[in-house]
């Protein structure tokens, strides 16, 4: 059964590209005559592919496919179609009237809801009459877009092509964007609006880019700046403000449904989730390229091992709700895990690809060409994700130190590399294996016992104990008292690879280690141990078996006869993998959190599992060579090491190759690294709520989404439906989970992925203009909207890719366009035809978002605390009532809570009612587009809420302080702070009376409630 | 740009016209603008149209003639034992102390499967219909002829919060709109003075998950359930948080109207801006209406007594039931009452893990009389003819106890496979029971009803085809019933 399924899968896989090509050809070359030399049979097949298959695919196969199988009829494959359904054969080749298929179709009984048009019927009738010749088999029902679903030819799945810039007649054209917009407008007889006034522009730009009002001084200066590039300079200044990241980071947090509590029954607070929020803000401020921004969020911990930023970034994976209450029942548990995977695959699909991949959990996607198996390939790619906390050095300072260490090490490598190559070339003059991978192998420490006990690379020299001695160019160990211990290592060891070439005296011994890394004096250790648990088998020893599981490798048969090379790799995600003679030994497994071995307190042992010597901990045999790498070697590197043991070059050999100056530099750099390492280990630790990877296991397609019904195995992979990127990750179904996520990250961010750039370009457009070119920013599939300006979208996407995914450049091009700079006011003779402004004949006014309302009030009142980052503030009282965490909204003031709203702690059960009334989204669900509603509750909140009234009073006090007692001065100041403009004469007159009667605070309250404040023109 | 709007006599001299609570709008010019933008219309047009605040579904209900115009939902948190209340299982007495038969090992929440325990309350047939109701609910039993019991409910989860989310939103997850939000979205509201969806939590505390239970999810914010507080102002921000003199308040409102009117005029009118102006008027109306509707002293002493307001154990829930009726009378679309708060010990909800007798006795005493009084009151006022009453719990409890394998314990674990709920009122066959669990009440075996079917039926009674009440969110036209749901037509009259 499985074999059959596999064959079919291979068939389908083989057919897909062909079908796609056929579809594309049929589309591109419609009407072209075919090769005159083709035989009748191939002509018939071509006719089938071109006319009949699309019809069957779009009108019949939705129900009559191998999965749905209605009436036990499958029309997608030749054999099945000819066999027929529960009522017998449905096609009588050559005789439509005898064909059930035709009878049903002719009688309008099939398809049931919407019968075929006459022309379509005729295609079917003629095809049967002509002998019902089949073409490409089976038909790929996803090949064609129909009126019911999208196929591979769907617009958003096609490669991005940079369009030719159109010629526009309009005068109001500054750049490419405006040309695309103007042409569409002209087609509809619409005219763009004039450029908005300076004061309007600076208010618009500042709110848009920073989420804050411009300061009165900035408004003044800009209004008075006559230079032609005043606007461009303003844009640059705003883009480089640190508030930019706070503003745009908030939008990103909406999309990834970032919340700081678990949700569900316990709704436990996550006090250490904020580093992810800070990472997002910093990344946007630093203009981290979007592909890198995304790759790190999917697999930063794997792609940048040792870099705390990478580990913080994968907080993306666990930003959503998580039910911490697990039932005892296994069935329910499995369902819950599948629910979690659906959530994360759903967010990945919508955020980065604009596709609702998660709709294919129980069946093939109903509207988009996404197979169920594709969904499960994606679940396999993220199968190791899990919620938790990791301890790490305080992110920012550690990253700075890491960057310095990395730079010093790079320079050391640059010094050493030519020397190493020369040495290797001399050693293996006849060596044709290619030394590329070998040259890169730079162990932290290495020992060749033919040459003695000293570390060939660093200073971890060995010292023999008991009977241990070098005999016959190897370290002889008697299994009773002999072992070697090294001097302490000079740096922290996290990820690592242990390697030893070892011979055993006998295969019956149990418990000795070839090489071990341990805390000096005992305690934690990781070691290559022989047969401590399973007779004759190698294992990864650890204290109390903390990280030990069987590899289930083959029983050792050779090590008593010849040296074997054993290597064990400890990856950052906790995966432990063994290799024997360069080949994988048994199965890798997840050993729990990686053990860190601190500098100065860690040593290596040869022949002893861990201190003290004695018991079954000693090895009887010989160790020939050994090495420690401070990273996880790849399978290829280990294989290379096994092929050529001479790949390791001692530091003495290298130093001998260097000039005196180079040697001095080399020493200085090494001293620098050592000093930095010491500094780094002293940084205090910070717990971070993030993805704590677990072993991925092997994913299966789940029949109808039921975890009790396993279908075919699904190795990690991408969506086969995307053009231009290979969905095959080349991974085994049980590949280490970190590799799966890093491949996924690379696949998603591939510059040829057509959706990746389009979706983000559209998101930015959506936020700047209030409506995306595609009005459904999370859905570029069949159920989503079609682009209003497809060429413009492709132009933006192409430029985005070409510019190396630089986000700020994309922002700059959007807000610099004439389209963006248009006035928003509607003239009396304005067109009624496009009241929604889909064709951009003006700038749509936009209501301030909830956070911006709050921030702007704080800013106007002079109460905003501009401190960035760190743990969020609480505007609620968090308390545990019985077992559940509750959040009671509080009205609190003071500098801490008067930070920007993005720094609020976004507990899922602890929403802020004031912000809620202003459409602040529920952090439980991804929000690509905020709604803008107007309700009496909102009006009540704006009018009566304690925060608003307090801000009105603070603002009044500020104005009294800054503008003195003169009513006119006061009015001007209030208007400048709240509305970014001076009051008009008639306003002064009326408002002066009002203030006299009711006080300044009353006026401030009114202005903070006014439409002019709440809307940006 | 015209500044004349601002300084003309229309805006300044006719100050009477700015009486906020009366009009909510400022000035004739503004009123005209609003009419032009479709935000104000005269009373006659409004009466003809239907609800005061229309829904906003793009395929607006009614999709067929509605039996019910409004609904009240009594939501029992923690899991009511159906076999001790509405699902009579004589076999339990026979099998008391026995092991569960068959090979299947129950997949229960806490993993402990004890021996079978008989029902702890005696059952009797009640009313003309002869419906079986246990002595746990003596008052509700008297209303047996009004009830339509479904004895074959099934849930997708045996964990409280996912199960409660599903009971309310159709989905087991955070982030989906509650049924009340869907109704507000689909049907709008029959009053513009009160919210369409009002929530009255248990006075002892919010249910687990808190306000998430009445979230609007991805629907626009105005459809979120509005919690009425039991202390202080019933609705948040109903009145200014600090003392503001009446004349200042009035002058401020006038000024806001005038500034907004001028701003609107300068921009050639706009739906969004007009709506925002209008919302302040509606807020003012709500400010008056909320204290009125929550003033229970208006009710006669007899009514108050019937709801149990005079007794300590029934007072809290009685007040909520009475308030619910008053809200419905004013045109509120959906009122949701919670019986039970969060989980943990001591129990303040129906989660009788340790001792069902103790726990259910305590909880039933709080709600039995008020619920029965509500039914009787609605009937007597004729409201039950077009009001739907729902009485549900997230799942039932197991017929075997939560204890060691050879012990008859006192508590029962969660049972998602079979449990009971009831409905009453408009469009239902009264005094009947639908579906059945197996002999011991463990699993629904006859006509199982998943929550999707329950919701489809509720929507149907309210004139809504559950497949047509949809909202586009992230690639999917979302429904309360996901892609499932069948109307249980056998319980319809």
Q: What is the largest CA-CA distance in chain A?
A: 105
Q: Which residue of B has its CA nearest to A785?
A: B475
Q: Which residue of B has its CA nearest to A1002?
A: B252
> What digits encode the pLDDT tens for the residues B404-427?
888 999 999 999 999 999 999 999
| B177 at interface of A, judged by CB pairs closer than 8 A | no
DSSP state of B211: G
> What digits encode the pLDDT tens for the residues A885-905?
888 888 888 888 999 999 999
Question: What residues in chain A have per-residue pLDDT under 50?
Answer: 1-37, 429-439
Q: Which residues contact A765 (CB under 8 A, 6 or more apart)?
A: A772, A773, A793, A796, A814
pLDDT at residue A326, as a whole number: 79
pLDDT at residue B280, as a whole number: 92
Rounded CA separation A618/A609 (Å)? 7
DSSP state of B383: G
Test A327 with B158 for CB contact under 8 angstroms. Answer: yes
Test B218 with A830 for CB contact under 8 angstroms. Answer: no
Q: Over the Cα atoms of chain B, what is R_g?
A: 25
| A1014 at interface of B, judged by CB pairs closer than 8 A | yes
Query: How high is the ipTM of this complex?
Result: 0.79
Q: What percent of chain B has pLDDT over 70?
A: 89
> What digits encode the pLDDT tens for the residues A25-43?
333 333 344 444 457 788 8
Q: Which residues contact A1011 (CB under 8 A, 6 or more apart)?
A: B259, B260, B263, B264, B273, B276, B277
Q: Which residues contact A591 (CB under 8 A, 6 or more apart)?
A: A540, A542, A546, A547, A548, A549, A570, A574, A575, A576
Q: Are strands A474-478 and A620-629 parallel, antiparallel or unpaired?
A: antiparallel
CATH class of B70-234+301-491: alpha beta
Q: Which residue of A has its CA nearest to B204?
A: A881
pLDDT at residue B35, as a whole number: 40
In angstroms, the Cα distances linking A738 to A749, A800, B241 are 17, 28, 53
Q: Are A537 and A531 in contact (CB under 8 A)?
A: yes
Residue with the larger pLDDT of the pair A391 and B225: B225
Test A339 with B172 for CB contact under 8 angstroms. Answer: yes
pTM: 0.73
Q: Note if the bond before B234 is cis, omega within 30 degrees.
A: no
Q: Are B395 and B163 in contact (CB under 8 A)?
A: yes
> What digits encode the pLDDT tens for the residues A121-142?
999 999 999 889 998 888 888 8
CA angle A873, A878, A879 (to 5 degrees): 160
Test A935 with B242 for CB contact under 8 angstroms. Answer: no
Test B210 with A945 for CB contact under 8 angstroms. Answer: no
Helix (H) or strand (E) holding B9: helix B9-12
Of the candidates A265, A925, A990, which has its C-beta nearest B175's C-beta?
Answer: A925
Of the candidates B206, B242, B476, which has its C-beta nearest A949's C-beta?
Answer: B242
Rounded CA separation A232/B354 (Å)? 70
pLDDT at residue B32, as a whole number: 40
In angstroms, the Cα distances linking A509 to A512, A615, B75 are 8, 12, 67
pLDDT at residue A829, as a whole number: 61
How close B44 gets to chain A, by Cα (Å)? 23
> What digits encode the pLDDT tens for the residues B59-113?
999 999 999 999 999 999 999 999 999 999 999 999 999 998 877 777 777 778 8
How close A821 gets to chain B, by Cα (Å)? 17
Residue B33: pLDDT band with limits 50, 70, 90: very low
Test A936 with B286 for CB contact under 8 angstroms. Answer: yes
Q: Which residues pair with B148 in a beta bridge?
A: B423, B432
**Binding-face residues of A in 796-825 toward B, CB within 8 A:** 824-825
Chain A interface, mutation test: which of B207, B475, B478, B482, most A Cβ atoms within 10 Å? B475
**Binding-face residues of A in 871-930 toward B, CB within 8 A:** 881-884, 886-887, 891, 908-911, 913-914, 916-919, 922, 924-928
How close A155 gets to chain B, by Cα (Å)? 16
Q: Are B114 and B402 in contact (CB under 8 A)?
A: yes
**Binding-face residues of B in 262-321 toward A, CB within 8 A:** 263-264, 266-270, 272-273, 275-280, 282-283, 285-287
> What digits encode the pLDDT tens for the residues B123-138?
999 999 999 999 999 9
Q: Which residue of B has its CA nearest to A1006?
A: B256
pLDDT at residue A847, as a whole number: 95
Test B212 with A886 for CB contact under 8 angstroms. Answer: no
> What digits encode the pLDDT tens for the residues B38-52?
444 444 444 455 678
DSSP state of A446: E
Q: Which residue of A has its CA nearest to B194?
A: A936
Nearest partner of B197 among B360, B71, B341, B56, judged by Cα? B71
Test A779 with B259 for CB contact under 8 angstroms. Answer: no
Test A825 with B267 for CB contact under 8 angstroms. Answer: yes
Domain parsing of chain B, residue ranges? 4-49+250-283, 70-234+301-491
| Cβ-based contacts of A339 with chain B (< 8 Å) | 172-173
Average pLDDT over residues B258-274: 85
Per the prediction, chain A carries an average pLDDT of: 88
A107 burial (CB, 10 Å; 0-12 / 13-18 / 19+) is: exposed
DSSP state of B207: P
Chain A interface, mutation test: which of B175, B206, B242, most A Cβ atoms within 10 Å? B175
Is residue B28 predicted with pLDDT exceeding 50? no
How close B293 gets to chain A, by Cα (Å)? 17
| B248 at interface of A, judged by CB pairs closer than 8 A | yes
pLDDT at residue A394, as a whole number: 66
């Amino acid at each position: 059964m499985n074999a059959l399924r596999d064959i079919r899968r291979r068939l389908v896989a083989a057919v897909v590209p062909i079908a796609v090509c056929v579809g594309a050809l049929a589309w591109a070359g419609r009407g072209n005559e075919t090769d005159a030399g083709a035989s009748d049979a191939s002509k018939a097949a071509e006719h089938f592919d071109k006319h009949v298959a699309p019809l069957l695919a779009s009108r019949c196969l939705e129900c009559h496919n191998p999965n749905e199988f209605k009436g036990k009829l499958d029309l997608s494959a030749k054999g099945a179609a000819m066999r027929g359904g529960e009522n017998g054969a449905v096609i009588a080749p050559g005789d439509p009237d005898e064909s059930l298929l035709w009878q049903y179709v002719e009688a309008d009984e099939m398809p049931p809801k919407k019968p075929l048009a006459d022309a379509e019927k005729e295609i079917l009738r003629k095809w049967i009459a002509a002998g019902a010749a089949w073409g490409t088999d089976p038909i790929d029902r996803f090949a064609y877009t129909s009126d019911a679903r999208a196929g591979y030819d769907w617009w958003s799945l096609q490669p991005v092509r940079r369009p030719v810039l159109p010629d526009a007649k309009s005068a109001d054209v500054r750049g490419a964007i405006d040309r695309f917009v103007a042409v569409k407008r002209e087609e509809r007889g619409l005219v763009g609006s004039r450029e908005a006034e300076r004061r309007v522009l600076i208010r618009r730009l500042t709110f848009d880019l920073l989420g804050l009002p411009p300061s009165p001084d900035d408004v003044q200066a800009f209004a008075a700046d006559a230079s032609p590039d005043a606007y461009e300079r303003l844009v640059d200044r705003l883009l480089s403000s640190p508030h930019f990241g706070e503003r745009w980071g908030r939008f990103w947090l909406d999309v990834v449904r970032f919340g700081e509590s678990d949700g569900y029954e316990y709704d436990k607070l996550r006090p250490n989730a904020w580093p992810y929020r800070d990472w997002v803000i910093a990344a946007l401020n630093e203009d981290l390229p979007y592909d890198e921004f995304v790759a790190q969020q999917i697999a930063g911990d794997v792609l940048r091992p040792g870099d705390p930023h990478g580990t913080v970034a994968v907080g993306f994976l666990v930003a959503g709700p998580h039910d911490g209450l697990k039932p005892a029942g296994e069935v329910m548990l499995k369902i819950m895990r599948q629910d979690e995977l659906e959530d994360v695959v759903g967010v990945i699909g919508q955020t980065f690809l604009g596709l609702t991949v998660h709709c294919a959990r129980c069946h093939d996607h109903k509207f988009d060409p996404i197979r169920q198996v594709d969904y499960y390939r994606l679940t396999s790619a993220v199968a190791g994700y899990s919620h938790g906390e990791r301890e790490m050095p305080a992110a920012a300072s550690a990253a700075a130190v890491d960057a310095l260490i990395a730079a010093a090490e790079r320079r050391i490598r640059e010094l050493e590399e030519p020397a190493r190559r020369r040495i290797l070339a001399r050693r293996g003059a006849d060596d044709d294996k290619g030394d590329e991978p070998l040259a890169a192998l730079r162990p932290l420490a290495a020992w060749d016992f033919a040459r003695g006990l000293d570390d060939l690379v660093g200073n971890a020299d060995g010292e023999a104990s008991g009977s241990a001695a070098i005999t016959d160019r190897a370290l002889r160990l008697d299994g009773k008292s002999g072992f070697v211990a090294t001097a302490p290592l000079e740096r922290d060891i996290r990820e690592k690879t242990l390697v030893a070439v070892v011979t055993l005296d006998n295969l019956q011994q149990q418990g000795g280690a070839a090489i071990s890394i341990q805390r000096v004096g005992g305690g934690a250790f990781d070691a290559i141990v022989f047969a401590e648990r399973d007779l004759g088998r190698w294992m990864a020893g650890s204290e109390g078996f903390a990280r030990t599981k069987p590899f289930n490798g083959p029983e050792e048969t050779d090590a008593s006869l010849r040296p074997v090379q054993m290597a064990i790799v400890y990856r950052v995600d906790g995966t432990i993998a063994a290799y024997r003679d360069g080949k994988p030994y048994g199965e890798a497994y997840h050993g729990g959190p990686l053990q860190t071995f601190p500098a100065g307190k860690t040593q290596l042992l040869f022949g002893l599992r861990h201190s003290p010597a004695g018991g079954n901990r000693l090895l009887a045999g010989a160790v020939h060579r050994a090495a420690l790498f401070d990273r996880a070697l790849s399978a290829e590197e280990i294989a290379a090491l096994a092929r050529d043991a001479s790949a390791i070059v001692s530091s003495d050999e290298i130093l001998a190759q260097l000039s005196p100056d180079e040697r001095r530099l080399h020493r200085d750099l090494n001293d620098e690294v050592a000093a930095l390492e010491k500094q780094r280990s002293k940084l205090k630790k910070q717990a971070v709520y993030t993805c704590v990877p677990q072993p991925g296991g092997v994913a299966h397609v789940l029949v109808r989404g039921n975890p009790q019904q396993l279908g075919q195995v699904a190795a990690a992979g991408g969506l086969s439906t995307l053009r231009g990127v290979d969905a095959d990750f080349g991974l085994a179904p049980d590949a280490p989970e970190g590799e799966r996520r890093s491949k996924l990250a690379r696949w998603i961010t591939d510059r040829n992925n057509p959706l990746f750039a389009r979706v983000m370009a559209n998101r930015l457009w959506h936020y700047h203009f209030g409506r995306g070119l595609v009005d459904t920013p999370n859905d570029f599939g069949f159920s989503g909207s079609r682009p209003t300006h497809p060429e413009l979208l492709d132009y933006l996407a192409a430029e985005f890719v070409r510019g190396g995914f630089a986000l700020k450049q994309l922002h700059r091009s959007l807000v610099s366009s004439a389209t963006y700079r248009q006035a928003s006011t509607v003239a009396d003779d304005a067109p009624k035809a496009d009241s929604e402004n889909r064709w951009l004949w003006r700038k749509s006014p936009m209501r301030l978002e909830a956070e911006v309302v709050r921030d702007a009030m704080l800013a106007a009142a002079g109460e905003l605390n501009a401190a960035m980052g760190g743990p969020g503030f609480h505007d609620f009282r968090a308390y545990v009532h019985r077992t559940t965490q509750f959040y009671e909204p509080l009205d609190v003031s003071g500098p801490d809570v008067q930070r920007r709203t993005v720094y609020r702690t976004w507990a899922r059960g602890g929403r802020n009612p004031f912000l809620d009334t202003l459409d602040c989204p529920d952090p439980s669900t991804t929000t690509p587009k905020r709604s803008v509603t107007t309700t009496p509750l909102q009006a009540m909140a704006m009018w009566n809420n304690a925060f608003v009234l307090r801000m009105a009073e603070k603002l009044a006090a500020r104005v009294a302080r800054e503008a003195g007692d003169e009513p006119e001065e006061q009015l001007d100041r209030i208007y400048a702070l709240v509305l970014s403009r001076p009051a008009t004469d008639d306003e002064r007159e009326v408002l002066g009376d009002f203030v006299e009667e009711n006080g300044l605070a009353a006026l401030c309250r009114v202005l903070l409630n006014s439409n002019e404040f709440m809307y940006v023109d | 740009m015209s500044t004349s709007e601002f300084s003309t006599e229309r805006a300044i001299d006719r100050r009477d016209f700015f009486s906020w609570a009366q009009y909510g709008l400022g000035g004739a010019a503004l009123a005209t603008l609003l009419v032009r933008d479709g935000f104000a219309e005269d009373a006659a047009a409004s009466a003809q149209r239907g609800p005061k605040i229309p829904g906003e579904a793009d395929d607006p209900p009614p999709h067929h003639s509605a039996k019910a115009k409004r609904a009240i939902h009594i939501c029992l948190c923690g899991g009511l034992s159906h076999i001790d209340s509405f699902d009579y299982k004589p076999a339990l007495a026979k099998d008391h102390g026995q092991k569960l038969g068959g090979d299947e090992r129950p997949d229960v929440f806490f993993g402990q499967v004890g021996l079978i325990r008989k029902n702890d309350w005696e059952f009797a047939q009640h009313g003309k219909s002869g419906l079986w109701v246990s002595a746990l609910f003596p008052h509700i039993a008297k209303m047996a002829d009004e009830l339509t019991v479904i004895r074959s409910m099934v849930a997708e989860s045996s964990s409280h919060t996912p199960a409660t989310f599903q009971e309310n939103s159709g989905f087991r997850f955070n982030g989906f709109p509650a049924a009340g939000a869907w109704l507000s979205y689909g049907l709008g509201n029959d009053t513009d003075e009160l919210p369409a969806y009002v929530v009255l939590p248990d006075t002892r505390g919010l249910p687990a998950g808190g306000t998430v239970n009445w979230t609007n999810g991805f629907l626009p914010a105005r459809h979120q359930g509005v919690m009425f507080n039991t202390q202080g102002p019933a609705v948040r921000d109903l009145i200014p948080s600090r003392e503001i003199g009446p004349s200042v308040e009035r002058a401020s409102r006038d000024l806001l109207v005038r500034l907004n009117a001028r701003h609107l005029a300068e921009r050639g009118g706009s739906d969004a801006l007009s709506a925002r102006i209008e919302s302040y008027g509606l807020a003012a109306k709500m400010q008056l209406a909320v204290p009125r509707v929550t003033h229970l002293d208006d009710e006669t002493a007899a009514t108050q007594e019937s709801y149990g307001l005079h007794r300590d154990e029934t007072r809290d829930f009685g007040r909520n039931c009475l308030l619910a009726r008053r809200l419905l009378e004013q045109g509120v679309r959906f009122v949701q009452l919670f019986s039970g708060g969060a989980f943990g010990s001591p129990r303040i909800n129906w989660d009788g893990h340790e001792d069902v007798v103790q726990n259910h006795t305590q909880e039933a005493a709080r709600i039995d009389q008020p619920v029965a009084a509500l039914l009787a009151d609605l009937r007597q006022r004729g409201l039950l003819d077009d009001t739907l009453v729902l009485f549900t719990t997230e799942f039932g409890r197991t017929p075997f106890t939560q204890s060691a394998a050879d012990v008859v314990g006192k508590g029962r674990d969660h049972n998602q496979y079979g449990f009971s709920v009831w409905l009453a009122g408009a469009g239902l066959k009264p005094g009947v029971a639908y579906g059945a669990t197996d002999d011991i009440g463990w699993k629904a075996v006859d006509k199982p009803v998943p929550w999707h079917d329950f919701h489809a039926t509720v929507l149907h009674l309210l004139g809504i085809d559950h497949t047509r009440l949809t909202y586009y969110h992230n690639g999917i036209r979302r429904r309360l019933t996901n892609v499932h749901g069948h109307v249980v037509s056998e319980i319809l009259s």
